[in-house]
Chains A and B, each alone.
Chain A
């Protein structure tokens, strides 16, 4: 138990650059700031102008808003936990101790999951505090919106599991952090324009006996909703749209709502359990 806990704590420290030189701390600090900044800005704007006067993004839209930063964070930091151990062959020292490869990889996964969960929660907590304080009647605001708290806590877990598992599975295939980070960023960046291109709404005018009306036509027609699944960055958002019953979300997610909820959950499960199994399989076969 102590061995597993030590792997977890060391993973958290490695992700945050603790116990290492200042260059290792720069990126985690910058990315933490980048995640919190939108929450701080929304809170300040809400306190200055008022909640009712502006259509500010709330807890539902916050994850989508910071998804790019979260992906960057995961792509850059996750390889630090796995690639370095294999490149420096420190893993050889772990595997001759009372640990199995499953213990090691579970400890590392849990460490990065803990850090990403803290990251996604901090922004939401700052936003919650900001919105409560910005309202005319904070207690009333809290009473009216208390359901947002379990929702963003649950949604945070959905996001954190996804952005932990995929980059870690990619990191299991290389000892170079830069290659892993580039692959993950590339995967998410490329998937967005492909999905957008296939699902984009082109408005056309249609004249009927009743008059002229605008109509949305998509290149892939009725199948467009299926292509929303290709946008990897929004995969957790597809599930979170089931948790939050709001519509402040990207177009791909709105279109994806047309899909059965089971399909959206299944796709999310496939893209987390699949890479998770790949990660476990890669380390199961590792030899010193």
Chain B
């Protein structure tokens, strides 16, 4: 069975500008993050998979088919753009029913699917209101709903949390997790927000300057580091002194003390130092790499 998406030596040039250069990667089931700074080639890659652009060379395949040659292959894809794309005069119910029909569903089935999807994204009560009256968060949900309404195999989400407040962002990310878990719809999430990608994705593909610079499971990029974070409620300076007496050098990083992990015996020394400094321990945990570290690596 072919992968959901596959880029093979995918190259796209806009005149003299290189958007993607001989890129190879695959997207399989689950949630995959397409990560990269602005201009990395994320949007170009999405447009190539949607069949909106023709590659300069190589191929962008959707379940083994080339979408720019066969528009029917888009029936199995959903797409949520970053920008506004909703008709303000229509109700979300009518709009979703229409979009389901445009995706090939018969009218009666389209109405049922529209109602179901609007309920899943939490807009059941507001479905007969004009979209123009919706808040930003509600509009984002309608955008997500239209991408799901025809029950696609894979959904491409372009910056789905753009413009949302922290609460709305968390709700959107939870919704994305639920879509993948409960409905088995695979997701390609394009974002420049590391936190979003780290919290919902199983795998990532990192683009920079039109090249794939990293690819793999998110857990590979968020492994434990050789550092230990210690948070105490009080007597932090005394703790630093007590650790130093035991040969452990601690540095301050925000509210935490950071020490290098060297051996398991070190934990006993830390425990003794905490007792000596009379510092109540709130948290002690190993440090973890973050996805931001990918972009901090020196160029090779």
Question: Closest 8 A-B residue pairs measured CB to CB?
Answer: A6-B101, A96-B79, A89-B85, A6-B102, A20-B89, A19-B94, A96-B50, A3-B102
The total of chain A residues at the interface (CB under 8 A) is 27
Q: Does B178 contact A (CB under 8 A)?
A: no
B182 CB to nearest chain A CB (Å): 24
Report A-chain residues with C-beta under 8 Å of the C-beta of B72: 98
Please provide the chain A residues from 208 to 222 with a CB less than 8 Å away from any CB of chain B in the complex: none
Report A-chain residues with C-beta under 8 Å of the C-beta of B87: 84-85, 88, 90
Whether the Cβ atoms of A6 and B98 lie closer than 8 Å is yes
A-B contact count (CB 8 A): 76
Whether the Cβ atoms of B85 and A88 lie closer than 8 Å is yes
Residue contacts A-B, CB under 8 angstroms, 20 given: A2-B106, A6-B101, A6-B102, A20-B90, A21-B89, A88-B84, A88-B85, A88-B86, A92-B85, A93-B79, A93-B81, A95-B52, A96-B50, A97-B75, A98-B74, A98-B75, A288-B47, A288-B50, A288-B52, A288-B81
Residue from A2, A9, A92, A97 within 8 A of B81 (CB atoms): A92
Q: Does B255 contact A (CB under 8 A)?
A: no
Interface residues of A (CB under 8 A from B): 2-3, 5-7, 9-10, 19-21, 24, 84-85, 88-90, 92-100, 287-288
Report A-chain residues with C-beta under 8 Å of the C-beta of B98: 6, 10
Contact bitstring B74-96, A, C-beta under 8 A = 1, else 0? 11010101011111111100100
- In chain B, what residue has the closest Cβ to A93? B85
In the bound assembly, the distance between CA atoms of A100 and B98 in angstroms comes to: 17
Report B-chain residues with C-beta under 8 Å of the C-beta of A20: 89-90
Given known contacts A2-B104, A6-B102, A96 and B77 CB-to-CB distance under 8 angstroms: yes
In the bound assembly, the distance between CA atoms of A90 and B83 in angstroms comes to: 10
B8 CB to nearest chain A CB (Å): 22
Report B-chain residues with C-beta under 8 Å of the C-beta of A5: 101
20 other contacts beyond A19-B94, A88-B88, A98-B72, with CB at 8 A cut-off? Answer: A2-B102, A2-B104, A6-B101, A10-B102, A21-B130, A85-B87, A88-B85, A88-B86, A89-B85, A90-B85, A90-B86, A93-B79, A93-B85, A93-B146, A96-B52, A97-B74, A97-B102, A287-B52, A288-B47, A288-B81
In the bound assembly, the distance between CA atoms of A95 and B89 in angstroms comes to: 20
Q: Does B103 contact A (CB under 8 A)?
A: yes
